[in-house]
Structure 1
């Protein structure tokens, strides 16, 4: 079955991209023949606009920009004219777009081509069209993106299919603290009602944080508008086994004189029920452990993101950008676990232990940010931007497991009569608190020393404090009531102070009419102090210099060639830096676990080259991008004999080097050449590869859980007379093999592919009311894993089967623009 599905997917992808490649010239030619005067031309690339002509309120891909009051009126008039032209062209092509409130009409294909560096831009229409609820659902459909976490939750972003710690998540251009040890941010917590746009940046410039080896996802929140906007959206969703649940979002803003404001807020409930099955088999194919679990998880997100902008003088603007995000999670699960032991060599059942486990877990994550920017125009060719922010995330978790066990032993004789039965009840409790706070400031300058140069220099500083305290206990209450026994681990309590200073300089240079070169250098210095629960502490500091170079060549007005080079870093997990020791047996099979405060960050030199072709007044585009990254000082767990105490220890170490490589293709086109001008086809496929050499065995393997490719196909169709849009997206994620050292043993995991299908139908009820129907995970995706576990000597010990399913989700949303 899996082979047939892979064959089908491969042929489907080949057919789609061959069709797009054949159709591209025809589409371009037909559009030009219909009337070249309808094609909107952009400003010549031979000129760099003055600073006062640049207006990028929604993105941080370019660092500092500011409008001057004398040009605001002219630019607004030009924007209105452009909007009118775009509307006229759209109507000529028979298109109808559902309204997007509070967002300027920007063609993201055009914007992507005009960018001096490579970036994928997701605008409001892409975000809202399929009624995505969270940022994770949006990103799943993008080139080279894999989402981790349980099926249907879409919370951990894995660009290029790499582990989540290689992807950087930014909110308005800055990292936001979260509870994860891998410095990740769970994007399923951010509702799309807050989001203006999303940028996926492959190779950073010097003005951007360097911690995205696989890439950076920059989530831009909604900004204060230039006029009144008001939108109320109500949504309702249901699962096959759950009562209906829903959400509410409000967007309201206006501009009064020199002051503009926006209130963006929302509340939404999410349900994530799961059914899990796990079974471990011995070498005789006998089940030694069988586990069945039913899980019910309910999440409630409350979000507030106001934005206030005040132009206090012709040269000065103040902005206030608070952000609040709170997620509460309630999880209840029931597990039934059967453990069996067998006599050797007879194979008769020796012991059967049956555990019935009730799990109750409550978690609350509260994050907020306060601060803003002051922008000052120094002259007609220079400006300054100063930002100051304080942000904090608190996470609390309370977990109780009640384990009722029945253990039955048997005699080693025919018929296996019962020898003895005993019952026990144990309660495990876990209380965990995490706090992560950060004070950071930024100061940057834009200036133009010569006509063809735009120079940016800046400095950033941050003071970060992180605390974790997890207390675990276990108590037996049957057959006798005993005192609780503490099970707190040696790295469950720690504090980390991490101070960072960044200095950067960048020059964007026009080399003639068609060439742009963006060169920069970024210095990042970090000082760490890690303190374990026993008050032992270790300090560490280091400085890295990260150069970047981006070249853009406008081959034709619709063809862009880019190549870039940038150095990035991946910093160690927080708890890997703790000076702890968790003593086991100290043997090769059960080594001691120890931290490594002397871990160095991984560094990577990434090279990307690509070409993009657009056509049909930027209604169609095709892009091909090749990438290569060398990775130095890769961090992995390793077992070594400590000669000082003659004990084996497992710890994270910088074990060696690796490389990542691949090819991304993406396409989008309307199809007037098929007689279907209202049909848009889109798709992308990313071929992914990587290599890591095992330092001891010399074996070459891939990075953890990286698939060989990931792809998305879909279409969108418009019926103008009915005011209706509908479409489908099909996500293809093949299986992979992964090898991991864990507790002195090697786990080899083979995970089957996961394909998913989403659909939507949207239509307008009145001029101010629109309705959408949508379905998610329509294929009821199942996660299937087979694990082979080998001991330290490479001998197979057992096999493990894991199956996990998520339910289909159906929903309706109603949006009122008032």
Structure 2
């Protein structure tokens, strides 16, 4: 059955329950009325950060908190919440780094469920989810027994709109003007209402995506050394996102049933063209290389889910199942004409190199959970078990052509039919099967001033890796692992305005797939080789969060949170002592569980109207996170790789009720980051980002909004320290020292929404 058929069933199959449910209609529990679309879309009311009642420290932000700045994706929205950083290209928000840590330390959830992604570190790119699908984003700072424990840095939960989130519908249409004067379109719609005995929500969205950037790289023999070459590059990413979602919620006497599904397709082309010149001189006589690199990408994400609960056995029984799939197809061609670097004009041994690579990836997860809640005198007891079955198949094949050209022209030659046969790349053809059964028990309670939660979770993992490119003896590897994850949370209301929270939890990070694969990758780390280690154990971390939150007036809230993570069994690359494929001075490196690390920081957030100073129609927003860490590798102490030292967001919204208009601005600055692996060290810094919006409301049903983003032409500056061997890196004997600068221009959107 095709995916489209599955998706249609997710939206329509619940209607088949209408006959049975009709008999129970008189006993339907009265539910809170959903907000009308006029209240959500054309209200003119400033929306602030939610103050949740969860015992686990959780920050919640409704879509309306972000919507006036018209984020295109969930990543664009997430960059405004505390402690979320990105190490992406300019105008890209893909791998979310909560508390600045690698995306593999951050758990990404959609509707509270795990989702598979393309990342070998098990991460999910949040720019794959259009912002129009979102009801709210939750920052869950600590872990609970009834959720998967792979959330060392915390979890980001993307909650999609359902039938209870709004009443009515709206249409959205607009245009996006890019810095290269190209215009992309955006259009979509959402409807929610009573259908039969339950509530149905359906939505669809199509939006053009385009990101034109320019890069300049300067390469030296060493810091302060001679400039060897300059590379000028244009990088344009152009595509279209298509999405659809549906949910059907049915309430009956003593219980409820929810069915949901969503589908997102990303159709994208990445076009990089670069010219390299010798010695800092730019002219035809100094030409070194012409490079044309294009990637055609089609990525599909889709999920189906069902949740069922009812009163039984003296408490409440809950069951849920889900199926999620990620499919990625990438066709990449990189063709380069290389000219002799020490003699001009062009000699006969100039070369044309062409690489054509096909990547096919499919990652699926089936999840199930059964739980029973019991009401006890001391609180509520929840006992349950969760199952996760992951299947991941990867196939990467490529062919390289290296051709001598007697007299190459100024532009790249076209060589039709030059590619093939296509052979697997090292580590590129593999299957991974992972099976988890995770029982848990959790006890929680609440009084007038105090709420608490304590639990135990026992995660068991069986893994089988089949890598067709590894040596025959290592081609199939199996492993078993189990880890106990305690957690405890306390929330104490000091007054009607102030409350204190304390959380302690143990979490886990499973090794990346490339760290487990037993394939040998030659010259992967400088001139050093790399081979995975199927015997790796998971990293574990004890975490502490201590927070204080204060309500300001009726709608405002301010909070400060201290966090600490002690990471044990850390996975770092270590030298096996074996000589590498490049000969003397090079080695084979492999990941091993070596040593510990620690992460700490302070997070502050403020979201409030200025009613106290007589400005009730002015809302201000501020969050600032100071982040730090410590780890020891083969070269000494450093922070966790690529952790920014701070993240700042500040902004305001001014509503003008008498004019039915509003305007506002946000400013974002992310701190510097440093990463070090064998063969390369990278320093990364970002320029500031400024966004503005102006909106005008017409009656109660239409709003027109103009937004501008990246108004400061934000840049990304990177410094690369490159070394051929491990000893060279210790001695600071450079293979190359590179300065790279990337910049993109402003983006303007004009978007209108009409409700019905």
TM-score range relative to shorter protein:
0.7 to 0.9
Looking at structure 2, the residues matched to 226 and 468 of structure 1 have their Cα atoms a distance apart, in angstroms, of 38
Residue 545 of structure 2 corresponds to which residue in structure 1? 608
Pair 1:308 & 2:248 matched: yes
Residue 749 of structure 2 corresponds to which residue in structure 1? 811
CA positional deviation for 1:127: 2.9
Residue 730 of structure 1 corresponds to which residue in structure 2? 667
2:185 to 240, 246, 263: 246
- Whether the 8 Å CA contact 2:304–2:323 is kept in 1: the answer is yes
Looking at structure 2, the residues matched to 686 and 419 of structure 1 have their Cα atoms a distance apart, in angstroms, of 54
Residue 464 of structure 1 corresponds to which residue in structure 2? 390
Residue 368 of structure 1 corresponds to which residue in structure 2? 302
Pair 1:630 & 2:566 matched: yes
1:759 to 684, 692, 699: 692
Q: Identify if the C-alpha distance between structure 1 residues 353 and 769 changes in structure 2 by more than 3 Å, giving closer, same or farther.
A: closer
CA positional deviation for 1:109: 5.1
Pair 1:525 & 2:460 matched: yes
Residue 514 of structure 1 corresponds to which residue in structure 2? 449
- Whether the 8 Å CA contact 1:661–1:690 is kept in 2: the answer is yes
1:233 to 160, 163, 172: 172
Looking at structure 2, the residues matched to 483 and 123 of structure 1 have their Cα atoms a distance apart, in angstroms, of 50
Looking at structure 2, the residues matched to 203 and 102 of structure 1 have their Cα atoms a distance apart, in angstroms, of 35
CA positional deviation for 1:302: 0.9
1:514-593 equivalences in 2 (<5 Å)? 514-534=449-469, 536-583=475-522, 590-593=527-530
TM-score, normalisation: structure 1: 0.81
Q: Identify if the C-alpha distance between structure 1 residues 783 and 483 changes in structure 2 by more than 3 Å, giving closer, same or farther.
A: closer
Residue 199 of structure 1 corresponds to which residue in structure 2? 138
CA positional deviation for 1:674: 3.0
Pair 1:454 & 2:380 matched: yes
- Whether the 8 Å CA contact 1:476–1:483 is kept in 2: the answer is no
1:227-306 equivalences in 2 (<5 Å)? 228-283=167-222, 285-306=225-246
- Whether the 8 Å CA contact 2:105–2:152 is kept in 1: the answer is yes
Looking at structure 2, the residues matched to 328 and 493 of structure 1 have their Cα atoms a distance apart, in angstroms, of 24
Residue 126 of structure 2 corresponds to which residue in structure 1? 187
CA positional deviation for 1:739: 4.1
SS at match of 1:640: strand
Q: Identify if the C-alpha distance between structure 1 residues 102 and 597 changes in structure 2 by more than 3 Å, giving closer, same or farther.
A: farther
Looking at structure 1, the residues matched to 323 and 175 of structure 2 have their Cα atoms a distance apart, in angstroms, of 35
Looking at structure 1, the residues matched to 182 and 346 of structure 2 have their Cα atoms a distance apart, in angstroms, of 47
Looking at structure 1, the residues matched to 700 and 444 of structure 2 have their Cα atoms a distance apart, in angstroms, of 45
Q: Identify if the C-alpha distance between structure 1 residues 172 and 229 changes in structure 2 by more than 3 Å, giving closer, same or farther.
A: same
- Whether the 8 Å CA contact 1:407–1:421 is kept in 2: the answer is no
1:434 to 361, 365, 378: 361
Looking at structure 1, the residues matched to 295 and 338 of structure 2 have their Cα atoms a distance apart, in angstroms, of 21
SS at match of 1:576: helix
- Whether the 8 Å CA contact 1:489–1:582 is kept in 2: the answer is no
- Whether the 8 Å CA contact 1:401–1:427 is kept in 2: the answer is yes
Q: Identify if the C-alpha distance between structure 1 residues 336 and 571 changes in structure 2 by more than 3 Å, giving closer, same or farther.
A: same
SS at match of 1:156: coil
Looking at structure 2, the residues matched to 72 and 580 of structure 1 have their Cα atoms a distance apart, in angstroms, of 58
Residue 715 of structure 1 corresponds to which residue in structure 2? 652
Looking at structure 1, the residues matched to 640 and 383 of structure 2 have their Cα atoms a distance apart, in angstroms, of 36
Aligned-pair Cα RMSD in Å: 2.9
- Whether the 8 Å CA contact 2:149–2:507 is kept in 1: the answer is yes
CA positional deviation for 1:101: 5.5
Q: Identify if the C-alpha distance between structure 1 residues 227 and 691 changes in structure 2 by more than 3 Å, giving closer, same or farther.
A: closer
Pair 1:330 & 2:264 matched: no
SS at match of 1:556: coil
Residue 400 of structure 2 corresponds to which residue in structure 1? 474
Looking at structure 1, the residues matched to 695 and 341 of structure 2 have their Cα atoms a distance apart, in angstroms, of 59
Higher mean displacement: 465-474 or 633-642: 633-642
1:221 to 155, 160, 163: 160
1:90-239 equivalences in 2 (<5 Å)? 99-100=39-40, 111-112=51-52, 114-225=53-164, 228-239=167-178
SS at match of 1:165: helix
Residue 776 of structure 1 corresponds to which residue in structure 2? 709
Q: Identify if the C-alpha distance between structure 1 residues 98 and 661 changes in structure 2 by more than 3 Å, giving closer, same or farther.
A: farther
CA positional deviation for 1:704: 0.9
Looking at structure 2, the residues matched to 739 and 691 of structure 1 have their Cα atoms a distance apart, in angstroms, of 12
CA positional deviation for 1:257: 4.9
Higher mean displacement: 634-643 or 388-397: 634-643
Looking at structure 1, the residues matched to 166 and 88 of structure 2 have their Cα atoms a distance apart, in angstroms, of 40
Residue 9 of structure 1 corresponds to which residue in structure 2? none
- Deviations along 1:682-728, one digit per CA (max 9) or x if unpaired, are 2011111100023x45x221111112211111111111111122111
Q: Identify if the C-alpha distance between structure 1 residues 669 and 127 changes in structure 2 by more than 3 Å, giving closer, same or farther.
A: closer
Residue 413 of structure 1 corresponds to which residue in structure 2? none
Residue 29 of structure 2 corresponds to which residue in structure 1? 72
Looking at structure 2, the residues matched to 419 and 227 of structure 1 have their Cα atoms a distance apart, in angstroms, of 67
CA positional deviation for 1:299: 2.1
SS at match of 1:111: coil
- Deviations along 1:231-283, one digit per CA (max 9) or x if unpaired, are 11112111120421121111112114522211021111110111111121014
- Whether the 8 Å CA contact 2:141–2:155 is kept in 1: the answer is yes
Q: Identify if the C-alpha distance between structure 1 residues 386 and 605 changes in structure 2 by more than 3 Å, giving closer, same or farther.
A: same
- Deviations along 1:61-91, one digit per CA (max 9) or x if unpaired, are xxxxxx9986833x64xx69xx99xxxxxxx
CA positional deviation for 1:124: 2.8
CA positional deviation for 1:319: 2.2
SS at match of 2:148: coil
1:2-41 equivalences in 2 (<5 Å)? none
SS at match of 2:29: helix
Q: Identify if the C-alpha distance between structure 1 residues 624 and 354 changes in structure 2 by more than 3 Å, giving closer, same or farther.
A: same
CA positional deviation for 1:391: 2.1
Residue 5 of structure 2 corresponds to which residue in structure 1? none
Looking at structure 2, the residues matched to 419 and 190 of structure 1 have their Cα atoms a distance apart, in angstroms, of 49
CA positional deviation for 1:655: 2.1
SS at match of 2:596: strand
Task: Say how many residue pairs are matched.
Answer: 705
